[in-house]
Amino acid sequence: MRVRFAPSPTGYLHIGGARTCLFNWLYARAQGGSFVLRIEDTDQARSKKEYLEEILFSLKWLGLDWDELHYQSQRFDIYRQVAQKLLDAGLAYKAEDGSGAVIFRMPQKTLEIDDMIHGKITFDTGLIKDQVLIKSDQSPTYNFACVVDDAAMQITHIIRGDDHISNTPKQVVLYEALGYPLPKFAHIPMILGAGGGRMSKRAGATAISEYRSMGFLSGALVNYLMLLGWSPGNNQEIIALKDAIAKFDIQDANKTAATFDMNKLLWLNSQYIKSCPIEELAELVKPFLKERNLISDNNFDGKYLEDVLQLFKERASTLAELSDAMAFFFVKDVAMDPAAAEKFFAQDLNAAFGALRSRFAQLSDFSPPRIEEDFRRTAAEMGLSTKQLIHPLRVALSGKTVGPGMFEMIATLGRDRTLERIERAIQLYKNKSR
């Protein structure tokens, strides 16, 4: 059993193409077959190296490897030889304009294929005009090169989006004319946007590399692609790629279109972040922190990063969101939310903050329980409620009004950072009172 994925490097790899590749890959691995990657780069003007590199990188990032790699641009002589064979048999003719284009004479007949997903599909080839095989620039057309290569590469199953159904009769007549064995076809229903129409940029029609840049984990994205047209059964939603192999069969693919739901993808990604081992998560988030100039290779404490991640991994949907949320742990001067500072620094808390600073400085055990104990004692001695002190302290330490548990946050920040930020808040109060 041999399947193929045949992207064109005239653009980046998007959700639809990645899902098609995934279904081919899963079926090959489930059936013990071969997965062939074929780069359809016959359009020399539009094919770009940057697109090819992005496609190959994205597939590897998703965990999809291949058994063979072919480039159509290296096979032009083969297409011309096969076209000549059809000319010699009288099944094709040269264009009358002298351009050198070769055109296939479309037979008038009824075709029926047994699609592995849709069942029987009937076509009337009498409604289809004669098909160009070789264009005037001597490059092959898509349908012709596709048939020649699928036969040469012994592809037994063609799994692709159902937007290719209209190409099927044009290809089947070529298989028959050339005496090639006919592969089995499986056309996967399209992925729709949230409103039921075509996917737009806003509704997920984005390059796989952009999802990576947004901070999606490859495992989560692959998991979501699986659910866009297939289910492992028993209402299971989270399934690893290696575990899906044992359950996957292309004939179980949905017969109706899937709808892309960004909220579902974000939820799934959050589950993968939660379950990710902390050492692995630290490696994944490092590039995002470096991009924001929060850490560098020369200024980096791995243990500190892992401790900070423990505070945030339960509440983040993406690595980018995670990096933004924990940024205040990695800066010298915290940027305070002006509205929060105005609200919570309205009263003079210098005495309370000074007392906190003194107590925290003397703590031998800088742990959440001891920090909380000293905090509550200080608030009580100052005649303040916990609420009156805890919100200003959070703003002073993080610049924000919300975040992880206060005492766990302080313990993770560490004594030195905590004392520096409290001192900065004291100075801020002094400046306001002048």
The strand order across the sheet containing 102-104 reads 92-94, 102-104, 131-134
Helical spans, DSSP H, in 1-139: 15-31, 49-62, 76-88
In sequence order, what are the residues at sequence separation of 6 or more whose Cβ sits closer than 8 angstroms to the Cβ of residue 271?
A: 220, 238
Question: Given 120, 201, 242, 332, which residue is catalytic?
Answer: 201
Q: What is the DSSP letter of 253?
A: S
Rounded CA-CA distance 176/190 in Å is 28
Beta pairing partners, 422: none
Q: Of all helices (H) and strands (E), which one includes residue 191? A: strand 191-192
Rounded CA-CA distance 55/8 in Å is 9
63 in the Ramachandran plot: left (φ > 0), alpha (ψ -120 to 50) or beta?
left
Cβ–Cβ < 8 Å for 322, 285: yes
Closest CA to 212 of 16, 58, 21: 58
Is 201 tagged catalytic? yes
201 in a labelled binding site: yes
414 in the Ramachandran plot: left (φ > 0), alpha (ψ -120 to 50) or beta?
left
Q: Which residues are catalytic?
A: 201
Q: Binding site for ATP: which residues?
A: 201
